Structure 1
Amino acid sequence: MTSSAPRRTVLAVALAAAAGVATPLAHAGAEPRRGAASPAAPTARTPDAAAPRSKSLVDYHAWTTAADWHHGRNNGTALAHGARPGIRIDHPVGSLDYRDPHSGKTATWEYATWTSPVHTLQVPATEAVASWNAHTPAGTWIAIELRGTYSDGTRTPWYVMGRWTAGDGEADIRRTSVDDQKDGKSSISTDTFAVDDPAGGLRLASYQLRLTLYRKPNAVHTPTVWRVGAMSSDLPDRFEVPASKPGRVGRELDVPRYSQEIHKGQYPEYDNGGEAWCSPTSSQMIVEYWGRTPTREDLAWVNPDYADPQVCHAARHTFDNQYEGCGNWPFNAAYAATYKDMQAVVTRLASLTDAERLVHAGIPVITSQSFLKTELDGAGYGTAGHLMTLVGFTDNGDIIANDPASPDDPAVRHVYKRRQFENIWLRTKRKNADGKVVGGSGGVCYLYFPARPTAVQRRALASVGVR
């Protein structure tokens, strides 16, 4: 059996430099106009999960609180009060005609914006990935942009990191990343900002994010954004990573098991069918671990002869129309956060010790990795990019993973050797089957967790830089 890897390349691959500038306000192609509580944790066998780590090469920063939203610059947006404070449209500040490149339709939208304060990086970065949690009723959408300052003092353009809506009905745009964004120093590859020539020493020193909230003119509904942030990093090129020692082991979380392979050939309009759905299949496993499920009405469109229709639903609602796949990392996180009282982020972890802290607290980890068939015993396939869910550790510290690249649901549970798994997940360089040096994900993961995590979960998340 072979893995059905998504078509996206891994994060570490930099694009060739080229001239060009991204358009502001996420209006490329537009004509602007004025105007469940976790299971109980076992007794700890290592120091407290909140113990501080050494200076990290990964920085995840987010805006989530009422104070965070007030510190940003509102232009037509206002605080959405409640248990989860966010921002919403208070009054539109303009409108635009947006021609959807994927549907071919042109529609008028009114909008408002929120711009974050500048976030200065403790360790200047070569890469960044934004992620967000939002409610986008039918007829609304959001655009997420990043603008940075380089270590040489110059600025990037406003880069579009995604145009997002949860739905895909007649009233909605087609969810999309934006290609061909570059300024001769950095580029956007689907969901990832990357400095073109890291060896030259240029780095991203700081950044800010801008949210543009859209709705139909004079509509009552508004998008609401509860979380927006970015993971930035500067990882060394490495084929091998240091091995961690088993610590908090001997726990397995009760995560549902879903195979992508049983969906082979289904709904080929979404990334050529289910054999490519490793990312949404993994996302759906974790969504349901937290006790969230699509409604019967949500699944009414799925062929009733298909097993696990919720996996088809996840594929449809993570699909990136530009990338033509379901492997856009932030789109998967945004999908998970459409469920009631769920949060989701894209970040990187430094070692399996970090993953142990999270699993010990009841938080599974969706990991991104690429490897040859010979590099992961028991997988039975090789892949240029694959997502699976880390759900536990054996007593000796090996990995228990729900691997969607399995022939059926009962076969999804795998035990992988700790050292093999840690290296293929955390490395930034590897050799493919042709002996060519290519990139590795460098520990990229999705973390999904409740809006109100337990104290143990908050400490575990804080230990890996997520608040």
Structure 2
Amino acid sequence: MTTPTSRRTVLAAAIATVAAAATAASVPAASAAPSHSAGGGPGPRPRAKALVDNGFWTSYADWHAGAADGTRAVAAARPGLVLSTPAGRSDYADPHTGKTASWEYGTWTSPVHRSAVPATEVIASWNAETPAGTWLQVEFQGSYSDRTKTPWYVLGRWTSGDTDADIRRTSVDGQSDGRSSIWTDTFAVDDATTGLRVVSYQLRLTLYRKPGSGLTPTVHRLGAMASDIPDRFTVPASSPGLVRELPVPRLSQDIHAGQYPEYDGGGEAWCSPTSSAMIIQYWGRGPSAKDLAWVNPEYADPQVCHSARYTFDYQYDGCGNWPFNAAYAATYKDMSSAVTRLGSLGDVETLVGAGIPVITSQSFLEKELTGSGYGTSGHLMTVIGFTADGDVIANDPASPDDDAVRRVYRRHEWETIWLRTKRYNAAGDVVSGTGGVCYVYWPTNPTAAQRRALRKVGLL
């Protein structure tokens, strides 16, 4: 249920520092997505009190609007960005294999996206295909509110594969300009009490392939969630508005304890990939028998092992990298995904009501979540529905077996442990919460109702 201490402890401290000093009086919903589908122009403005801005590039016009060097936009049923005539070659010394190799590359730099929310944090996400022998890098450069800029920060070096033909998926530690830092998958202003914010940003893609191979990654979706969540130990209770339960498969992380130590050993370390595997299966996707041939046949639910392997971040040394989980889900046919923040369980009801489950990130003491039977410094669960009383129906992978995964948790307890940015740990120290972070996975061609729901929470 927990993620590796070395990373999440540091990230928690960073997020706690980033949080603004005032306690939130309300929990506004995420902004409407500032879509770039009209050739890079801004989309609808968010409500005045929105704390989250989502910006994405997905259409042919979006890709055509960026600055390309060795890449080109493809106008297909699902538009994308590919390598064309490479801009050059570069060597990459993979710190996780010890090997240095030469790669052809091309770049694409997004138009400047002006965030509707001057932000203290930014988390990117992407949907891409990377055949063996290809990979991609995502970078971020923000403009501060004092008119200076951040460096170009690396937000991930990613491939869907895990063979000798591939690099190893990795975040990049040690990036800071003394005013902001990268904490695995999260850009954060170091001291938000100074008033410093990021008011706009660009993302840069670099696509790589083995020289002379003619291969290419294809990127279908790129974007980021920018936010400025105020400091809060609790949140107002939202009013129930939905009674529905989605038939999401139940998968336990605990039955995998001790499996594949090279991918962080299963059990409590695999909450994120187990949650991802549940939702991928819910949408009728998943690894083939050939894909799963590497898994020990004595292990139950081999799709969970597969999910752990292919979300594993070799620098973080764990499976809890948020964008890597979203990117893994989108490797399956006609699937889209994003990492974002939502404003309340009302937003989750909007998605669940349209048939879209939501993976949420939270931390809590055992006494703070009635019926959990455990406490955690960081855990992923899937909201699959709501009872007639408005309580949360969750698939909680921290369960002894698959049958025990379905749980019902009290609405306001759940909302608090998910949306707060500050909490007390078992030692009585003040530490951080995630402030509403979640993963959302959905079909590339959603129904009209799903499209409306995704648009309402800022993802389309």
Taking structure 2 as the reference length, the TM-score comes to 0.92
User: Are the structure 2 counterparts of residues 234 and 284 from structure 1 closer, same or farther at C-alpha, using a change threshold of 3 Å?
Assistant: same
- Superposed CA offset, 1:169-227 (max 9, x none): 01000000000000010000000000000011100010000000000001121000000
- Please tell me the residue identity of whatever aligns with 1:183: D
Q: 1:430 maps to what in 2? A: 423
Q: 1:419 maps to what in 2? A: 412
Q: 1:288 maps to what in 2? A: 281
Are the aligned partners of 1:5 and 1:383 in contact in 2 as well (CA < 8 Å)? Answer: no
- Please tell me the residue identity of whatever aligns with 2:8: T
Q: 1:381 maps to what in 2? A: 374
- Superposed CA offset, 1:218-276 (max 9, x none): 112100000000001001000011110001x2100000000000000000111133331
Q: Is 1:403–2:396 an aligned residue pair?
A: yes
Q: 2:291 maps to what in 1? A: 298
Aligned-pair identity in percent equals 69
Number of equivalences: 431
Q: 2:206 maps to what in 1? A: 212
Q: 1:37 maps to what in 2? A: none
Secondary structure of the structure 1 residue equivalent to 2:293: coil
Are the aligned partners of 1:12 and 1:428 in contact in 2 as well (CA < 8 Å)? Answer: no
User: Are the structure 2 counterparts of residues 15 and 427 from structure 1 closer, same or farther at C-alpha, using a change threshold of 3 Å?
Assistant: closer
Tell me, in whole angstroms, the C-alpha distance in 1 between the residues paired with 2:422 and 2:271: 22
Secondary structure of the structure 2 residue equivalent to 1:9: helix
What's the offset of the Cα at 1:81?
2.6
> Which residue of 108, 120, 132 corresponds with 2:114?
120
Q: 2:38 maps to what in 1? A: none
> Which residue of 441, 444, 448 corresponds with 2:437?
444
Structure 1 unaligned blocks of 5 or more: 18-49
Are the aligned partners of 2:422 and 2:430 in contact in 1 as well (CA < 8 Å)? Answer: yes
Q: Is 1:71–2:70 an aligned residue pair?
A: no
What's the offset of the Cα at 1:15?
7.6
Are the aligned partners of 1:389 and 1:401 in contact in 2 as well (CA < 8 Å)? Answer: yes
- Superposed CA offset, 1:129-157 (max 9, x none): 00000000000000000001000111000
What's the offset of the Cα at 1:9?
1.9
Q: 1:9 maps to what in 2? A: 8
Tell me, in whole angstroms, the C-alpha distance in 2 between the residues paired with 1:65 and 1:12: 35
Q: 1:155 maps to what in 2? A: 149
Tell me, in whole angstroms, the C-alpha distance in 2 between the residues paired with 1:73 and 1:391: 41
Are the aligned partners of 2:16 and 2:431 in contact in 1 as well (CA < 8 Å)? Answer: no
- Superposed CA offset, 1:9-57 (max 9, x none): 276632899xxxxxxxxxxxxxxxxxxxxxxxxxxxxxxxx9x855411
Tell me, in whole angstroms, the C-alpha distance in 2 between the residues paired with 1:275 and 1:122: 37
Tell me, in whole angstroms, the C-alpha distance in 2 between the residues paired with 1:272 and 1:190: 20
Q: 2:322 maps to what in 1? A: 329
- Please tell me the residue identity of whatever aligns with 1:206: S
RMSD (Å) for aligned C-alpha atoms? 1.5
Q: 2:453 maps to what in 1? A: 460
Are the aligned partners of 1:16 and 1:196 in contact in 2 as well (CA < 8 Å)? Answer: no
User: Are the structure 2 counterparts of residues 422 and 400 from structure 1 closer, same or farther at C-alpha, using a change threshold of 3 Å?
Assistant: same
Q: 2:253 maps to what in 1? A: 260
Q: 2:124 maps to what in 1? A: 130
User: Are the structure 2 counterparts of residues 97 and 164 from structure 1 closer, same or farther at C-alpha, using a change threshold of 3 Å?
Assistant: same
Q: Is 1:338–2:337 an aligned residue pair?
A: no
Secondary structure of the structure 1 residue equivalent to 2:13: coil
What's the offset of the Cα at 1:6?
4.4
Are the aligned partners of 1:53 and 1:463 in contact in 2 as well (CA < 8 Å)? Answer: no
Q: 2:94 maps to what in 1? A: 100
Which structure's residues are more often helix, by fraction? 2
> Which residue of 267, 273, 278 corresponds with 2:271?
278
Tell me, in whole angstroms, the C-alpha distance in 2 between the residues paired with 1:159 and 1:449: 29
Tell me, in whole angstroms, the C-alpha distance in 2 between the residues paired with 1:329 and 1:80: 27
Q: 1:30 maps to what in 2? A: none
- Please tell me the residue identity of whatever aligns with 1:231: M
Structure 2 unaligned blocks of 5 or more: 18-43
Are the aligned partners of 2:4 and 2:317 in contact in 1 as well (CA < 8 Å)? Answer: no
Tell me, in whole angstroms, the C-alpha distance in 1 between the residues paired with 2:424 and 2:178: 28
Are the aligned partners of 1:96 and 1:108 in contact in 2 as well (CA < 8 Å)? Answer: yes
Are the aligned partners of 1:265 and 1:275 in contact in 2 as well (CA < 8 Å)? Answer: no
